[in-house]
Each structure stands twice: as structure tokens, then as C-alpha cells.
Structure 1
């Protein structure tokens, strides 16, 4: 029974990891948006991390374009698009700390007994990709989606492409917001 509860908890956490972090303006009718374009100044270049390069920027743009076109939207000129897209990326270093008991000890020469503990720490990078959708006519942010994940180093270009496609698909699974409502 205990193992079944642990398995259910792990599955629930895995399901949560696939859910994008989404915020949007509830007063907006997203069915009116048929075309999109990128803000002219949209860039990831200022992120300041070696993993966020012009190559990664190209991957993100291609993945977003492909995903939105698969959802029925059309890439248009900036002056005529219904919505404009902007994106941001950041990389943060986090620390994972584990402390556990490794044994019970006793000494006879000196009075005392106690537990021995071991603590290990690991640094790792977490990347966050944020996609903004702005209504071109009002210049107001109407939708924001984000995904955070642990970055993998030493990936091939193909592995990087797949990771970006998966992240973008996860973020855009909440766009338009009507898809989230059941």
C-alpha cells in the first residue's frame, strides 16, 4: 500500500512538470487572434549564459513558429499581425543539498554515542524560457507562458533541438487559454 501511494505521488509530480506556468487576461477573446509576428527587438542575446546563443535563439523561434502554425495561426508582417511575440530566457545556478545518517557510533575510551551524518551538495543550472503574447492593436500583454527545467550540458545539436521543441510545445499547450478550460 505504501509503495502504491509513493508511485501515485511520483506520477502526480511528473504530471505537474508537464503543465506550463501560464497567466493571461481573462477579458480577452483569444479566438480573434489568427496571425502573429515577432517583436523586432525580441532577442535572447542579453541573457548572459553560454547556453543561450544565436543558435538557441534560432531553435526557439523555429519551434514557436512551427507550434503556432500547427495550431492554425499564420506568421505575418509585424504591421499587420494580430499579436506580437516576445521571449526571455534566464539561467540560474541552484544547489541541491542532501544530508543523511550513515551509521551509529559509540566510543569506549571517551564517553559518548551518536549518529554519523554525511552531507553532499551539487550545483546545477536551471533554465527558464518565457514567451509573451502582446495584442498589437492595444500593445498590452495578453498571455504569458513559461517553463523551467534543469539544463543538460554536452548535448548534441539534435538533442538541443528536441529539448527546445518539447519545452515550446509544453509552454504553448496553454495557448490559447480556452484549451486549459474543461
Structure 2
């Protein structure tokens, strides 16, 4: 039984680390149908506190997702796309008290806490937040922001690329905001 409980906790921790929580905010007075083209806002992106390689990964993922949604990259865009990042160390501590489980019928030493068997799982990871901003080019005003938060996986380059693509896909899927209302 102990293996089943530990496996269950491991699955919960693993699953929660793989998800990306996304929230959005936007100007409700904007008609988002007017935006068809985009370009990257270099000034904002240069301030992102990540490596140049990761900036390239985010830019490629953003471009791929926006093009997949029907937007066109342009030298004379309707909107500018920028992003920035934040990260922090997180620690999850899960305590699992096993009591009341035993073999067959009758009394056993583990019943009702006789030998309280505590399992403590400690999981330390980096939680990253990616902010994606869409800016009206002519007005120079923020029109939409998507914020994705989740655990970062930095085991190897391939996993890092996959994680960045997942973050970007989850965020950009919420744009334009009319999709949220359907």
C-alpha cells in the first residue's frame, strides 16, 4: 500500500509541475479583429532577464504560434509583441501519514498509528513566469497581456525547448480575448 500512496503523490507532484497556469488581462474597449500583423518589440525583449538563447527560443515559439493563428509578421505591423520573465525557487513539502492499514483481519502494529510511518516528499524546483505583451503600434499602448506560470524543466536542451513552447502555446491560445468568451 505504501508504494501506491507514494506513487499517487509522485503523480500529483509531477502533473502539477507539468501544467502552465495562464491568466490574461486586456483593454475591453479594443476591437481585436483590427490586428492582423505583428512585429517584435526589441526594446522590451532586450530587458528580459534570460539568456540570449532562451530569448531566441521564446521568439521562435511566439512567431510560430501567432502565424498558426493567422497573424502575419510584418515590417509595418498593427501590433508589437514583447515579453519578459521572472523566476523564483519553490519548495513543495508533502507529508503522508500511513496508519490504519494492515494485513488481513485482526490487530496489527500499524493500525491506528501503532508505528506511525511518515513519508515526507520534498520537491524543490524553479517556478517561471512568462509575460507576453501585445502593444498597439500606433498608440504605443498595452492592449493585451498573457501571463503563464509553471515549473521550469532545465534537464537538457530538448526539454527546455519543449517547456518554452508549451508556455508560449498556452499563453497565445488565449489571444484574442474573444476566444475566452466562447
Pick the TM interval, shorter chain. 0.7 to 0.9
Deviation above 4 Å: which 4+ runs of structure 1? 113-120
Aligned with residue 55 of structure 1, among 25, 48, 53: 53
Normalised by the length of structure 2, the TM-score is 0.73
Q: Distance in 2 between matches of 1:71 and 1:153?
A: 28
> Is the deviation greater in 120-129 or in 145-154?
120-129
Residue 71 of structure 2: aligned partner: 73
Q: Across the two proteins, how many residue pairs are aligned to each other?
A: 155
Residue 43 of structure 1: aligned partner: 45
The reply to whether residue 149 of structure 1 matches residue 160 of structure 2 is no
Residue 109 of structure 1: aligned partner: none
Q: Structure 2, unaligned stretches of length 5 or more? A: 1-11, 101-113
The answer to whether the Cα contact below 8 Å between 1:33 and 1:83 also exists between their aligned partners in 2 is: yes
Residue 31 of structure 2: aligned partner: 29
Q: Distance in 1 between matches of 2:41 and 2:55?
A: 14
RMSD: 2.7
Normalised by the length of structure 1, the TM-score is 0.73
The answer to whether the Cα contact below 8 Å between 1:44 and 1:53 also exists between their aligned partners in 2 is: no
Q: Structure 1, unaligned stretches of length 5 or more? A: 1-9, 105-112
Residue 90 of structure 1: aligned partner: 86
Q: Distance in 2 between matches of 1:94 and 1:42?
A: 27
Partner of 2:60: helix, strand, or coil?
Answer: helix
